[in-house]
Amino acid sequence: MTRIFSGIKPTGHATLGNYLGAMRRWAEVDQHQSDALFSVVDLHALTVEHDPARLRRLSRQAATLMLAAGLDPALCTLFVQSHVVEHVRLSYLLECTATDGELRRMIQYKEKGAQALAAGRSVRVSLLTYPVLMAADILAYGTDEVPVGDDQTQHVELTRDLAVRFNQRYGHTFTVPKATHPQVAARVMDLQDPASKMGKSHDAGAGIVYLLDDADQVRKKIMRAVTDSGREVEYDRERSPGVANLLEILSACVGGNPIDLAGVYESYGVLKRDVAEAVVELLRPVRERHAELASDPGYVDQVLEEGAERARGMARPRVDAAYAAFGLLPMG
């Protein structure tokens, strides 16, 4: 059976981008067809300035939202990354496999590093080594497929390179995984700045739809989305990125392809209204289920505890094998 691993980092409130690019598929497809693990990858939230109390809140919220989105602990393994020490154990060996040059080439390192320096803050070493920890998340489980949005492609490519290099030098230890993306909405753009990804770590903005926004907030944000100076509704990411983004969101919500959907609309206003209603309907059950689950934190904690136990059992033999292959003496 195909082994799947994916995760979300609790750096901010989860967005429509997280849902359409990743979470929805985890719940609707992946957990039913595969042996799937999903993680709140909390260690990844420590690579930039963070507030411990907020991290705790967001980690629990991310787990609750994953359940609200439809992840079922009877079908998949849901856990918090820092509860399974194997990730960090393996990450160190992979740091001894990766090179400084290949990590400095990572787009997210360049972007976030430049942002920190521009704001007069120093750059944590973990921002550079972050993709190696992500590779460890994936490789520890013998993962075949990594369902992610478009922005994670480069990190999964690095993971593949590290797996191949490790296997060649130290003997076959890791499965070489591949990234999978949704057919549409693999990169949902910011509604106010369609040249940038809709990102939860960005400053709260009018261009980001959060999964826990209420219906009025969702409507307001979508009705105010930046469109383009043209009049015609066309699907063209280069010339009309704002409209193309709305068409992709609509397509992800109601089906059909964005090019055909473009032909249905004669004005931006009507398009926006339909997108707003489609997103409100899509998110309504998630928000309702979240409210129910949030009133029972004991249940969420229990799911996470059982998930971590299971994940540990799956990761440990492979990480032990990697330590042995590297030449480290086995523990007695």
Q: Which of 112, 178, 220, 272 is catalytic?
A: 112
Rounded to whole angstroms, what are the CA distances from 240 to 79, 187, 237?
Answer: 40, 15, 6
With contact defined as beta carbons under 8 Å apart, do 307 and 79 qualify?
Answer: yes
**Is position 221 annotated as part of the catalytic site?**
no
Nearer to ligand TYM, 17 or 258 (CB): 17
Task: Name the minimum Å distance from CB 306 to ligand TYM.
Answer: 21
Find the residue with minimal CB distance to ligand TYM. Answer: 21
**Is position 200 annotated as part of the catalytic site?**
yes
Nearer to ligand TYM, 82 or 152 (CB): 152
CB environment 175-207: b (16+ within 10 A), e (fewer)? bebebbbbebbbbbbbbbbbeebbbbebeeeeb
Could you list the beta-strand ranges (E) of the chain: 3-8, 35-40, 76-80, 145-147, 178-180
Instruction: Report which of 50, 79, 137 is spatially closest to residue 302, judged by C-alpha positions.
Output: 79
Nearer to ligand TYM, 157 or 299 (CB): 157
Q: Measured between alpha carbons, how far is 148 from 182 in angstroms, rounded to an integer?
A: 8
Interface contacts to ligand TYM, rule CB under 6 A = 5-9, 17-18, 20-22, 41, 44, 134, 137-138, 146, 148-149, 151-152, 155, 186-188, 197-199
For residue 217, count other CB atoms closer than 10 A to its CB: 14
Q: Is the dihedral of CA 82, 86, 89, 90 positive or negative?
A: negative
Q: Which of 9, 110, 178, 200 is catalytic?
A: 200
With contact defined as beta carbons under 8 Å apart, do 248 and 185 qualify?
Answer: yes
Task: Name the minimum Å distance from CB 62 to ligand TYM.
Answer: 8
Task: Name the minimum Å distance from CB 320 to ligand TYM.
Answer: 21
**Is position 110 annotated as part of the catalytic site?**
no
Task: Name the minimum Å distance from CB 158 to ligand TYM.
Answer: 11
Nearer to ligand TYM, 126 or 324 (CB): 126
With contact defined as beta carbons under 8 Å apart, do 49 and 232 qualify?
Answer: no
Task: Name the minimum Å distance from CB 87 to ligand TYM.
Answer: 9
Nearer to ligand TYM, 22 or 286 (CB): 22
Residues marked active site are found at 112, 197, 200
